[in-house]
Each structure stands twice: as structure tokens, then as C-alpha cells.
Structure 1
Amino acid sequence: MKKELDFKTMAPAIIAAVGGAENIKTHTHCMTRLRLVLADKKKANEEELKAIEGVKGVIDQAGQYQIVIGPSVEQLYNEMLPLLPETGAEAPVNENLDGDTKENAVSKVFAFISGCITPTLPVLIGSGLISALLAIVKFMNPAATETNTYVLVNALAQAAYSYLPVMVAFAGARRLKTNEYVAAFVMLALCSGTISGVEELDLFGIALTKVSYTSNIVPALLMVPVMAVLDRQIMKVLPDAVKSILRPFILGLVMFVLTLLILGPIGTIIGTALANFCVWLTSFGGISMAVLSALHPLLVMVGMHTIITPLIVNEITTYGSSLLFTKALAANLAIAGAALAVGVKAKKAENKQTGISTGVTALLSVTEPALYGCLIRLRKPLISAIAAAAITGIFVGMFDVRAYATASCSFLTLPIFLGGTMQNFVLACVAAVIATVLGFVITWFVGFDE
């Protein structure tokens, strides 16, 4: 009951601190943050926001005003919804709110990609956990893979990646304020067995490049912006009397043809380049993974960690596993270890309580409370966690430890490292212990100022 009352108090306080409901153009949330696009950022009072009980941090990044809450963000968001305009209840739009500068153009691209990927993360996490469960079943009883139950549940797990382009197109279309159902309709057609990966197809006598649309999010990311531009032109030209009939017809047909002839092949080229980039990036073994693992907490701090998600998804769908994703295991548990060390060593009761509670939360995969409530505030523990993550990154890079699905990395989700050899899983478990212990030990000996 107390928590419910807190959310009811927090919701109007947050809205007032960002300049009122009329200053919020669009609003959404991820697993731990409110993500707002404000009409005028100058009206937001960051200090007032940070003073609200329950707000762990504020980030102005990639066109979004991100307010860090923690795992209970959805409950808070539900309290805010009745106080906000219904038209804003969608993923943030891809608009330049601060002028046409090169920096903002790059920021808009990152914001668009992040805005398309972030809404799909719950599905990918759910799929990853189901895949992990199936991996455990397969390890304990290999014959179970032949049963109908295993096959059916596996179909559920694989659907998340097979139809990920459909979800990305839907999220992207909603973000750009075009018809998300038409976008999904086009991508569903492209992902069908009649088209995806089929050779020797032609359209109007024009030979089509073989493109695998299932699991390939790049064509969807290219299609949606073009569709949004086309949609606006159609709305200007068509008479009101026929818009509801002809708009989806023209939009769907034209985007289907454009994607088959142009955007799909371009997307394949980009996807191949991304896959090759991942191979190059991880070819340096321990060095590259040390850098990536050390950077992960910093990317989480500024809300840019989802930018790497397309690379990870592309890596898994292309090669069946991801070395890049293992950086999150190293970083998350290093953060957990550092926070727990603060909880054990701190003299102030507040720091003890915060360290223990956020450390346990980080062990269970949600690291923002530990980062904002403990490590950033005390500074030295953050540096210690980064060092621990880097050392663990060297380990996972040297031994090529790979994830076979995606989920929020923690001790609970270690089964996502099943799928290859048993050695890979054991090494992942060892890496988890190394990260946690190093995070704790380095923080303990480096110390911190309270």
C-alpha cells in the first residue's frame, strides 16, 4: 500500500518537474527508466527531479529525457498515464527538437535505433529465458528434443528472433507516427517462407536479390523511415473521402515493392558488414572484451547501452551465438560485487542499506539502482567495478565465452550460455564468480569516501 501511495505522489511530482503535461510530447518506458521527449528541455528542473524520492538519476541523451527509476518503473508509468495526453503514449518520436545540427542528426539516428529496439527487449528476454530452460532440459535429457512438447516450446522461443523484424517495424512506425499495422503487415509478408531466403524470385520481370528477412532487422530499420516520408506525402495528396481506403493500399504495396527491389538488398549488405564488424571487433580477444566490458557501465549510465543491441542480435542470428553479449555478464556482476562491498564496508547506515539492497538487485540483473544509488555517488566504487569488468572481459575474451540467447545477465540467467559445449557454460559460471568477487575485493581495498 505504501508503494502505491508513493507512486501516486511521484507521478504528478515528476510531471510538474519536467514542465507539466503540456511539455511532454511523447512518453514511454523501458525496464528501468521513464523515457520522455520534451517540447522544451529548458522547462525541466533537473535538481527538482533528483530530489523526488524514488528518482535515482536523470539523463538527457539521444533526444530523450531519461528518468531512472528502477524495476518498478512500469507501476509508476501506469500512475502517470491518466495525467498525460493519450496522443503522447507511444515511443518517442524522431524529431529534432533543438535545431538542425550535425550532432543532433547523429543523436536522432541513435535515438531511432534505440527506440525501435528497446520495446522489443521484454520479448527477447522472455525468449532467452525460454531458450535457457530448453537448454537445461536438453542437457539433462537429450531425448527430450524429439518430443512434441519440446518442439512446440522451442517454436515459441525461436519466434522472437524469426519475427523480430516485424516487432522492430511496428515500434519504428509508432515512433515516426506512421501506421504501425501497415509496417508490420509488410514485414510479415517479407518474412514469409514464400519470400524470405528464396532464390530465383522476380518481380515485374526484375530478378530479386536473395534476402533472408527473418531475424534481419536492418531492412525494417530502413523501411520505416521511408514509409513515414511516403505516408506524409500520401496524406497531403489523397482526398479525405478516400484516405481510409487508399492510404493503407498504396502504402503497403509501394513499401513492399521498394523493400524487395532496393531496401532489402541494401539491408543485407549492411547486415553482412555489421556481422563482419562483430568478427573484427572480437578478433582481438581479451583486449576488445576488456574495453567493451569496461565501457558497459558507462553506456548504461548515459542510456546508450541499447545501441549495441542490434550488433548482438545480428551476431546471434548470423552465427547462432554472441561473444559481444558476454560483456554484460562481466559488467553487471562487477557492479553487483562493488555495491555489495559498499554495503559491507560502509560506516553510514544509509550506505550500508543502499549497498546491500542494490547489490542484490544487481545480482538479479537490474544494475541501475546500484549505479545511481551507490557507485556513481561514491565514485571510487564505480572505478573499481569498471576495473573488475575489464579484467573479467579479458577472461571471457581469451576463452571465447559465448551466449546463445539474450536475457538480462545475472546468476539466474547463466543457462543462456548453454547451447554449445559444456565447457562454455562452465567458463561463463567462472566468469560470473570472477566478476562478482573482483568487484567486491577491488572496492574493498580501494575504499571510498562517504
Structure 2
Amino acid sequence: MSKFTGDAKKLLEKVGGSENISVVTHCATRMRFVLNDPEKADVDAIEDIDMVKGTFTQAGQFQVIIGNEVASFYNEFTKMAGVGDTSKEDAKEAAKQNMNILQRLVSHLADIFTPIIPALVVGGLILGFRNVIGDIEMLENGTLTLADSSQFWAGLYDFLWLIAEAIFHFLPVALTWSISRKMGTTQVLGIILGLTLISPQLLNAYEVVETTEIPMWDFGFFQIEMIGYQAQVIPAILAGFVLAYLEIGLRKIIPQVVSMIFVPFFALLPTVIIAHVVLGPIGWTIGTWISNIVYDGLTSAVGWLFAAVFGFAYAPLVITGLHHMTNAIDLQLMSEFGGTNLWPMIALSNIAQGSAVVAMIYINRKDKKEQQVTIPAAISCYLGVTEPALFGVNLRYLFPLFAGMAGSAVAAVISVGSGVMANSIGVGGIPGILSIQVPHMLMFAVAMIAAIVIPFILTVVLSKTKMGVDAYKRLGK
């Protein structure tokens, strides 16, 4: 009998038994259940189990926080429950049965962007390094950059653009590939579709202005503009889904014996034509509208109000999963304006929630069990992964959540009010300063200080109020 046997048996009983488990898997710290009847799970009793550090429900999954020993606990649990192992993708698909239409839409959007986020983060860091090398005049009494002072640094500055260009200018390729991967269609067709949107034959999207003479494909009775969609998000997403659904539909009607020939041909060729004639121009227009509305709102006379609302509301958006929508907006802002003023607020919100957890570490410094959750949660939050902090700590107590939201709102006002822009999406926490454009790094640092200090002080203060006392009573502490 292992040390996990007793708690695993209790958890199995309190989630409603094996017959109530549709799918179970685990990540770095949590077990993820898709339950046939979520109402059968006794949440209070589950949270009283010694190995359990907290619970929450997100994206149709009931998640139980175990900690660093989750893999061993999971093995003992599944052996006892008689539930077979399954992949995270299977768990996601099963979980969608418990989602409403909006949740499914957001889940699909998350599935598209999640595989390419590591590349976007790397791209943001590389642009940050290029800023340090080529834009900060740190030598010769503030008159020379590193790139100006040495051929090595100049060469490195130029070389790093190779990677940044591949990530951001060629973004449509990543998006169309990710959609084909998600939809279970032919991934190489998704890649080829993306390449047709950024081909060297096409006029680069960054070179298009009102006075530009646009080349045409001339078919005699009609013409198609030869415009590329470098860094464009919405045209790539629209084209990617058209290709996927065409391929899925064709596979149902074309005999399998000739499907290898005719399915790719009749899926790809019409999609490329539709993408350049219809979807590209429409997607570009929609993307421009969205980016202009967000940018104009944040830079208007009442931009501080937009910033305060977004900063305050971002953590609840993470709780609901709606935050995945901001990825597309950030990328569109980067395409239109050469940077994003939205992403810095996201990084500041993460820092603020992490600071609230740090305050809980201080408040509960004598509670060793609590620190098994709070310390890893704070570290991951400062590095941009907020779910352990939000669900494992702040949402359970509530008052740290509100303290973090308040600190985030103040930091967002400072960021937007001083015109802070990021090169791109980056590490959504303290290292995020590397993705901030050089002229704005100082003010972003000021906003970071606000995001650290305000939530910490507010959390400590609120813990002594009725709100804090009630939270401790509710949790039996």
C-alpha cells in the first residue's frame, strides 16, 4: 500500500466513483476530470483530503490541485479507479460536451493559438534583445549603441532578425498549420496554404499604403490583387478553416481509392482562390477595424478608463477562459502599429496576481501545507502562468483576487497613460519587460512596481477585515 492509497480512495469516492468519470488526465500539478455528472462531485469533501490543495472547474474540466507529486498520485488513483489512461486532447474533446457555445468558441480559439505561443514568446524576446543591441545608446556617453560600436554586435543584430521575421512575418503559415492540426486534416496543405498568403510573388503587406500601385493577376475578364498577408491573423484563420472544412467534406464524397489525388486538389485550389479574392480583403478589413478600435480607445482622452477596466477585469477573463481572445488582438495590433499596448497590461495583471499570492505566503507563513501551494503558484505567476495562483489560492480566498485586480488596474493606467508599447507577446510576467520597446521600459518598470506593491499591501490589509476573516472561516482555517 502506497502513501497515496488512502487519499486516492477518498477522492474516487467523492468525485462520484468510477462510473462518474468520463476522462481523467493530469498536468504538472493538477488532475483533470471530465465527469459525467459534475453535480455528484462533493467539492468541500474533496478539498478536505490531505493531498488536495484546492479545486476549480475550467473549460468543462473539474481540476484537483495535488502538487508536485501529482504523477505518482494519478497512477495510484487510476489503478484503483480502473480508469484507462488518455491523452490531454481526448480530455479536451470530452470536456467540450460540458461547454456552452461561447465556451466552445473560446476553446477553439485557444486550441489554435496554444501550439504557436512558444514561438511568439521567443520572437518577443528576440525583438527585445535586438532593441537592447541596436536601440539603446549605452556607450560613449550615451551616443553609441552596441551595434554601432562593434561589427560582432551589428552582425548579431542583423542575424536575430532572421528568426523574428520567420515568426511574425510568416505567422499565417503557423496559423493555417495549427488549424489543420486541430481539425485533423492534412497538415502539409495547411502549411502550403499559409505560404500562398506570404509568397515573395506578392506585394508585402508592410509596403502597402494608399499610394502604392498594386500588381494584379490578370485573367482577362477579372483581376486579383497580388497582396501578401504577412503577420495578418484573421485572413489566415478564415482561410485555414475553409481549407479544413472543404477537405473534411470532400473526404465524405470522394471515393477513398482516388482521395489522395482529388481531395488535396479540390480542397487547396479553391481555398487559395477564395483566400485572395474574398477572405483576405475581408479579414484585413475586420482586423484593421478591431486593432483601430482597441488602439484608439487606449490612446484616447479616456484611455485611462479603458486601461483601468481591462486591468481590473483581466484576471476574471482568465478564470472564464475568455483571455485567449486577446492573442488575436495583440497580433493584429503588432501588424498594424508595429507593437501592442494591450499585452503590457496582461503581463502586469499576472504580476499583480502573483504579488497577491506572495502576500498570502507572508500571511500564512506558519502553515506548511498552504505553502506547498502558494510558493509554486507565486513563482509560476511571476513567470506568466497564472492558473495555479488564481485557482489554487486567490479565488479560494477571494480577497487576494480583488487585491490583485485593484493593483492590476492601477498598473494598467500607468502603462497606458505613459504610452507603453510592447514589441510583441512575451513572457507574461516579470521577464516581460524584455519585450517592451526600449523607450518605454522605464515606465513599464514603474507600472511593475505598482503591480507588486499595491496587491501585496491590499492583501495584507484585507486579510484583517471582515472579508478576510469570513474567508478563513469559510475555509475552516
- TM-score (structure 1 length as normaliser): 0.81
Which residue of the partner structure matches residue 217 of structure 2?
202
Which residue of the partner structure matches residue 131 of structure 1?
127
Aligned residue for 1:58, secondary structure, equals strand
Which residue of the partner structure matches residue 179 of structure 1?
186
CA distance in 1, matches of 2:198, 2:66: 35
Aligned residue for 1:208, secondary structure, equals strand
Q: Say which is worse superposed, 328-337 or 45-54, in terms of deviation.
A: 45-54
Structure 1 runs not aligned, ≥5 long: none
Aligned residue for 1:157, secondary structure, equals helix
Q: Say which is worse superposed, 336-345 or 362-371, in terms of deviation.
A: 362-371
Q: 1:151 aligns with which of 130, 138, 158?
A: 158
- RMSD value, Cα: 3.9
C-alpha contact (below 8 Å) 1:331/1:435 kept by paired residues: yes
CA distance in 2, matches of 1:70, 1:214: 43
Give the superposition deviation at 1:410: 2.4
Amino acid at match of 2:105: V
CA distance in 2, matches of 1:127, 1:74: 32
Q: 1:108 aligns with which of 104, 118, 129?
A: 104
Which residue of the partner structure matches residue 337 of structure 2?
319
- For residues 349-370 of structure 1, give each alpha carbon's deviation from its aligned partner in whole angstroms, at most 9, with x where no partner exists: 1445544443333233332222
1:300 aligns with 2:350: no
1:416 aligns with 2:438: no
Amino acid at match of 2:323: H
Q: How does 1:368-383 map to 2 (within 5 A)?
A: 368-383=387-402
C-alpha contact (below 8 Å) 1:68/1:368 kept by paired residues: no
Give the superposition deviation at 1:245: 2.0
Length, aligned pairs only: 427
CA distance in 2, matches of 1:276, 1:209: 24
Q: 1:344 aligns with which of 362, 370, 384?
A: 362
C-alpha contact (below 8 Å) 2:308/2:413 kept by paired residues: yes
C-alpha contact (below 8 Å) 2:334/2:423 kept by paired residues: yes
Q: 2:240 aligns with which of 203, 208, 224?
A: 224
Q: 1:402 aligns with which of 411, 421, 429?
A: 421
Q: Give me the identity figure in percent.
A: 21
Give the superposition deviation at 1:335: 1.2
Give the superposition deviation at 1:147: 3.0
CA distance in 2, matches of 1:239, 1:127: 43
Give the superposition deviation at 1:95: 11
C-alpha contact (below 8 Å) 1:70/1:366 kept by paired residues: no
Give the superposition deviation at 1:22: 9.6
C-alpha contact (below 8 Å) 1:113/1:221 kept by paired residues: no
Give the superposition deviation at 1:280: 3.3
CA distance in 1, matches of 2:333, 2:252: 41
Q: Say which is worse superposed, 360-369 or 349-358, in terms of deviation.
A: 349-358
CA distance in 2, matches of 1:318, 1:35: 39
CA distance in 2, matches of 1:97, 1:55: 27
Closer/same/farther in 2, CA of residues 277 and 168 from structure 1, 3 Å limit = same
Which residue of the partner structure matches residue 328 of structure 1?
346
Closer/same/farther in 2, CA of residues 296 and 259 from structure 1, 3 Å limit = same
Structure 2 runs not aligned, ≥5 long: 139-145, 206-213, 473-477
Which residue of the partner structure matches residue 263 of structure 2?
247
- For residues 384-416 of structure 1, give each alpha carbon's deviation from its aligned partner in whole angstroms, at most 9, with x where no partner exists: 111111111221121111111211232223121
Amino acid at match of 2:456: F
1:163 aligns with 2:170: yes
Q: 1:391 aligns with which of 396, 403, 410?
A: 410
Amino acid at match of 1:251: A
CA distance in 2, matches of 1:91, 1:266: 35
Amino acid at match of 1:160: I
Closer/same/farther in 2, CA of residues 335 and 218 from structure 1, 3 Å limit = same
CA distance in 2, matches of 1:291, 1:20: 44
* The structure with more radius of gyration: 2
Which residue of the partner structure matches residue 59 of structure 1?
57
Amino acid at match of 1:360: I
